[in-house]
Structure 1
Amino acid sequence: MTFSIVARSADGALHGVAVASKFLGVGAAVPAALADVGAVATQSYANLAYRPQALTLLGTGMTADGTVRALIAGDDGPVTHRQVGVVGADGAGATFTGDQCHPWAGGTSGDGYAIQGNMLAGPRVVADMEAAWLAGADQPRFQHRLLGALHAGDRAGGDRRGRQSAALLVVAKGRGYGGTSDVLVDLRVDDHPDPVAELSRLLELHTLYFERPDPATLIPLTGAVADEVRSRLAGAGHAGADLDEALAGWAGIENLEERIVPGAIDPLVLEVLRSGGV
């Protein structure tokens, strides 16, 4: 009833899950991840206990394959209807599909990824997801690479019953909001006619609001740029002798505080300021 990709970034710093389904709020049931440890997707008559169990096992140093085998061996429920994918801190991912999962059902795995789905339009869903994941090796933003694979599965037909929800979860040590969390991305589309497309829209907003600026693109707050920023801030009710303070005050209201760097301005922040706000 679901298709997903569980993966690790090439440098091992990020772990994540992207999933879509004809199921209400799939993000509340399928994905789980722990920074520097791994990620898991449990689906098809999902056993939600797999999530903490898998992360605990991975945390002991168990491989993804060993973790999947342990989950199945310790499950006293309908294992033949279960499906699960796991990646650890290193090595190959692993996936399991019970032989009584609703067709089409299956999965594939490789170095740092596992892809699986059930009640799909056909095997092409998984194959296209794998091809997209492998082709995206040069994508510098891991969360976008995950979402690209999910889009490929959606275009290949996805869940044969239709579309309803999608989710994206990415973790990395200290990479969450304000550096105080390991959750880099946690986005959910619970009920939508085109959830994967909506998830893409939300990720673009997340990028604007929560990603930190690229130092190479920062514009010094001097000369004509400083004059323009000061004038626009005054027009927005944020006049002040200290330009950095005035800009930070405005950015806090616009939820752009993660993109503020003293003495400079992010081009994306300047674009929002020029447009009058988000």
Structure 2
Amino acid sequence: MTFSLVGRSPDGSALGVAVASKFLAAGAYVPAAAADAGALATQAHVNLELKTRGLAMLREGVAAGELLQRFFDADPDRAERQAGVVDRDGRAATFTGERAQHWAGGRTGEGPEGSFAAQGNLLAGPGVVDAMVDAWLASAAEPDLARRLVAALAAGQDAGGDPRGKQAAAVLVVSAGGGYGGLGDVVVDLRSDDHPEPIGELTRMLDLHDLYFGSTPAEQLLAHTPELDGELVRRLAATGYASGDLGRDLYDWMGRENFEERWHDDRIDPVVLEHLRRTTG
């Protein structure tokens, strides 16, 4: 009923999970990740304890494969479980109990494209997992881990996915200090809980996430000039910000529009300028 890919970026700076399922709000149950531990997916007959105790074990330095062995050896319902793990050091492991509904299985890899654990149960066939792996390996040059993970989901869906249909999808990515304002580790945490095209909805939300929380390279930021500042004053006034202090007006407008992560004291982000132009005509 579920297919997922747990992955680590090639440089080891980010870890994440993407999942899709004909199961309401699968993102609330399947994925877990911590920048100082690793990332994992628990599925089939979900054991939620893996999300807490498993991350704690990873944080203590237990390797991915050892974690799954120790955890499921002590689980009386292990025959119905499925899980995938990538630890903080890039070691990957997957587990499929013998009573997980057919087709069920998984693959792992620890190459230069970034470590991964791909798995699924109640799938159209092994081609679903193979397609996810192929997409993962082919996207190594993509720096955005969330995009790689969602692209792998899309490939799995195109290969047949869950034969019962579509309902939910989610993506979770963590990186030390990479969260909002640099004050947390959660880079992306998006869920499509009940949608006819949940993976497509995730892609749409990732586009919005990039718009609001993305980063423009420093060399592409725009310097203040009399001409640009004059345009900013006019356009900001059209939105109701006309205090006479351009810096304050721009800062306040950007906060209203949820662009605070794109604020720079002495430069203008061209993404912000384009949004201002588009919204003021």
- Mapped partners of 1:242, 1:66: distance in 2: 60
- Mapped partners of 2:160, 2:141: distance in 1: 26
- Encode CA deviations 1:46-84: one digit per residue, 9 max, x unaligned: 0010111211111111111111111111212x2111100
- Mapped partners of 2:90, 2:44: distance in 1: 25
The code of the aligned residue for 2:100 comes to: C
The code of the aligned residue for 2:31 comes to: P
- Mapped partners of 1:266, 1:157: distance in 2: 41
User: Is the 2:241–2:253 Cα contact (8 Å) retained in structure 1?
Assistant: yes
Aligned residue for 1:188, secondary structure, equals strand
Shift of 1:203: 0.7
List alignment gaps of at least 5 residues for structure 2: none
User: Is the 2:8–2:90 Cα contact (8 Å) retained in structure 1?
Assistant: no
Shift of 1:120: 0.6
Aligned residue for 1:86, secondary structure, equals strand
Q: Aligned-pair RMSD on alpha carbons?
A: 1.1
Task: Pick the aligned partner of 1:208 from 199, 202, 211.
Answer: 211
**2:231 is the counterpart of 1:228:** yes
Shift of 1:216: 2.2
Shift of 1:12: 1.1
Alignment partner, residue 25 of structure 2: 25
**2:16 is the counterpart of 1:16:** yes
Alignment partner, residue 89 of structure 2: 90
- Mapped partners of 2:186, 2:139: distance in 1: 22
Alignment partner, residue 152 of structure 1: 155
**Where do 4+ consecutive residues of structure 1 move more than 3 Å?**
none
Alignment partner, residue 103 of structure 2: 104
- Encode CA deviations 1:237-264: one digit per residue, 9 max, x unaligned: 1123332221110010011111111121
List alignment gaps of at least 5 residues for structure 1: none
Between Structure 1 and Structure 2, how many residues are aligned? 276
User: So what's the TM-score if we normalise by structure 1?
Assistant: 0.96
User: Is the 1:63–1:91 Cα contact (8 Å) retained in structure 2?
Assistant: no
User: Is the 1:165–1:192 Cα contact (8 Å) retained in structure 2?
Assistant: yes
The code of the aligned residue for 2:220 comes to: T
- Mapped partners of 1:40, 1:189: distance in 2: 19
Alpha-carbon distance change, 247 to 67 in structure 1, aligned in 2, over 3 angstroms: same
- Mapped partners of 2:239, 2:191: distance in 1: 33
Alignment partner, residue 165 of structure 1: 168
- Mapped partners of 1:107, 1:252: distance in 2: 44
Aligned residue for 2:40, secondary structure, equals strand
- Encode CA deviations 1:69-123: one digit per residue, 9 max, x unaligned: 11111212x2111100000011331000111111111100011210000011111
The code of the aligned residue for 1:67 comes to: L
Identity %: 51
Aligned residue for 2:229, secondary structure, equals helix
**2:122 is the counterpart of 1:122:** no
- Encode CA deviations 1:144-199: one digit per residue, 9 max, x unaligned: 11111111111111111100000010111111111121111110100000000000
Aligned residue for 2:67, secondary structure, equals helix
Shift of 1:36: 2.6
User: Is the 1:13–1:36 Cα contact (8 Å) retained in structure 2?
Assistant: no
- Mapped partners of 2:131, 2:162: distance in 1: 14
User: Is the 1:92–1:109 Cα contact (8 Å) retained in structure 2?
Assistant: no
User: So what's the TM-score if we normalise by structure 2?
Assistant: 0.95
Aligned residue for 1:191, secondary structure, equals coil
Aligned residue for 1:131, secondary structure, equals helix
Shift of 1:132: 0.5
Alignment partner, residue 6 of structure 1: 6
Shift of 1:223: 2.9
The code of the aligned residue for 1:16 comes to: G
